[in-house]
Structure 1
């Protein structure tokens, strides 16, 4: 979760807490109007204003991002303890209605049920129990406790409820920890699966011998490139055939022929730009797609590749074959073009290159310009 998303979530949680504060404040004033509050009305009014200012300050803390400086940006334990303090002050000013408002203690602790660890939750519960017990002991010591038996029952009831909440909080935290571990394990499995899928896609798209794209993957890439071409732009397309490759296989064996194919792939990777897409089209035939290309740029690229392959030293082939050469048929793709037609044009140009003596680059510009 990003920091912005986390902050939005924390702000929503605070607004929920603030709404609960205001509802309890409304109940407190109902108790005031019913004559159940011992404190004077001006004191209750001043306390209400102080509570609202307290909420405004907390709202500023979350809205400004100051809470992010703390180890726990949610300030859950702080908010629970602060609410417990306000609740204890309210109970200290109630007489017969104290038992009614006692239920707010568990409600306060419920706010931290899913966000506090077991130790922090137990600490908050102890603060709540000690606050209420201390309140009753102080009133008993000052002779203000009207019904000690009822107060003892209330303390015991609160103790039982708090014990149950602590046990339930530990159960919730243990369940969340198990879910977190399972989520981490699931994420690890998903990452592994993505990696395996990526390797599988790479294997499906790659020619095993040369490491270049295979024919099927090239056709998919070329079709996508053609579909996304803006009007007026052109892509270069070339079919490349290694000259007399069958003769090499027959005279020196397929192992040497494989090294010739790998040597061409190595030369091509060194002399083609990063945007160029080169694939093994089949056998000793390769296909090249050069995005955003002019006729001159395509011809220059193919000539540079032809010369580099022809200049490959015989030592690279362990002296097993003579001079190497290749023939190229070139054409241009436009946005209105059809990929099959373009490949046919390049194939016809390649055929003319072979008929003309091989080791040359022959264009088919006239079809595009027509």
Structure 2
């Protein structure tokens, strides 16, 4: 993955985590609002200074987390979302706030559930259970301490609240485990689907290669070449020219008759190898049929085009097919130029006429049939 792609992925991840952090802050805002209502209606048996100190602790803790997210230091942790620390801080603050309540503790137990719900989709089951245990110990310990100090006004209600909380925490833990297993299965299916898609793409590429490539020589086939040539011709600008040539291996039938078809195939493969070596990147050579090939040189001049074809002819005459001995390898080339507004079929006909001229005048040579007189 490139650095720009990594930076984009990191920014996207940070944006997502900031949104989740915003949800947590909103939950704290709701809790502070409920606490304010409880304080106004005298359900908090604490002075105003302690109430303000608790709210200050909430604000400071969230500012610390916000600083970690904005600075990017959260990415240094194993869990960049800092879900477990946020949940644990929330549980501690919730327990401290409950220690200041009396009759309103029961309704406020729902805040334990809201805090832990924040970690249902992010925490592993063991970590979630650990957080649930912290919540249970905190609330149960609060009641035990008050009972020991004889400050628990309604012990039977406290026992009920502890039991209700334990049931809620147990259910949440089972739900978190179920959600985690579902996410794992979905992730595995997504990976399997991705693997199948990659395999399918590979098969499609292979099919495309088979549909566009000559199996024997590895060059493009006639159909694919015509598609490429048509596309190049349609994008040709005024004043620019493409070179188009038909190439025929001389006396190829005699090679097949004397040495066999396997040797003829080796000669065809030898030409393909020579052509790919002689041509520049962007030049297109394809098997046109039998021992005939076709060549397209985009954006070229007549002199350069002739020199390229001559270089190809001479290189093939010096080639030695692997494993066989064939004397006097040669080829004939018919050349023409493509210009803007030209017709591909007519250009191929001109190249074919030039090829016929090269063969008629002795083979092993290049002949040209230019479209315009000034070429």
User: C-alpha displacement at 1:57, in angstroms?
Assistant: 2.3
Aligned residue for 1:328? 333
Is the CA contact (8 Å cut-off) linking 1:238 and 1:346 kept in structure 2? Answer: yes
* In structure 1, C-alpha distance between the alignment counterparts of 2:88 and 2:216, rounded to whole Å: 69
Task: Determine the C-alpha separation between the residues in 2 that align with 1:93 and 1:119.
Answer: 31
Specify the SS of the correspondent of 1:330. Answer: strand
Q: Residues 87-102 of structure 1: matches in 2 within 5 Å?
A: 87-102=94-109
Q: TM-score, normalised by structure 2?
A: 0.91
Task: Say whether 1:116 aligns with 2:138.
Answer: no
Contact 1:260 1:317 in 2 (8 A): no
Unmatched tracts of structure 1, length 5 or more: none
CA distance in 1, matches of 2:374, 2:30: 79
Give the total of aligned pairs. Answer: 368
Question: Structure 1 residue 255: deviation in Å?
Answer: 2.3
1:31 and 1:68 map into 2 onto residues whose CA distance is: 38
State yes or no: 1:33 paired with 2:45.
no
For the pair 1:318 / 2:324, whether they are aligned, the reply is: yes
User: Counterpart of 2:28?
Assistant: 21
Alignment match, 1:249: 256
Aligned-pair CA distance for 1:363: 2.4
Q: CA deviation at 1:303?
A: 0.8
- 1:190 lines up with 2:211 in the alignment: no
- Aligned CA distance change for structure 1 residues 150 and 342 (closer, same or farther; 3 Å): same
Q: What is the CA-CA distance between 1:353 and the residue it aligns to?
A: 1.9
SS at match of 2:332: strand
Q: 2:17 aligns with which of 10, 18, 33?
A: 10
Match of 1:205 in 2: 212
Distance, in Å, in 1 between the alignment partners of 2:180 and 2:372 is: 72
Paired position in structure 2 for 1:363: 368
Match of 2:3 in 1: none
| Alpha-carbon separation, structure 2, partners of 1:290 and 1:53 | 71
Asked if 1:281 is matched to 2:292, the reply is no
Kept in 2, the 8 Å contact 1:280–1:287? The answer is: yes
Contact 1:332 1:368 in 2 (8 A): no
In the alignment, structure 2 segments of 5+ residues that lack a partner are 1-5
Q: Contact between 1:205 and 1:216, CA under 8 Å: does it hold in 2? A: yes
Following superposition, the deviation at residue 30 of structure 1 comes to 2.0
User: Is the Cα–Cα contact under 8 Å of residues 90 and 115 in structure 2 kept in the other structure?
Assistant: yes
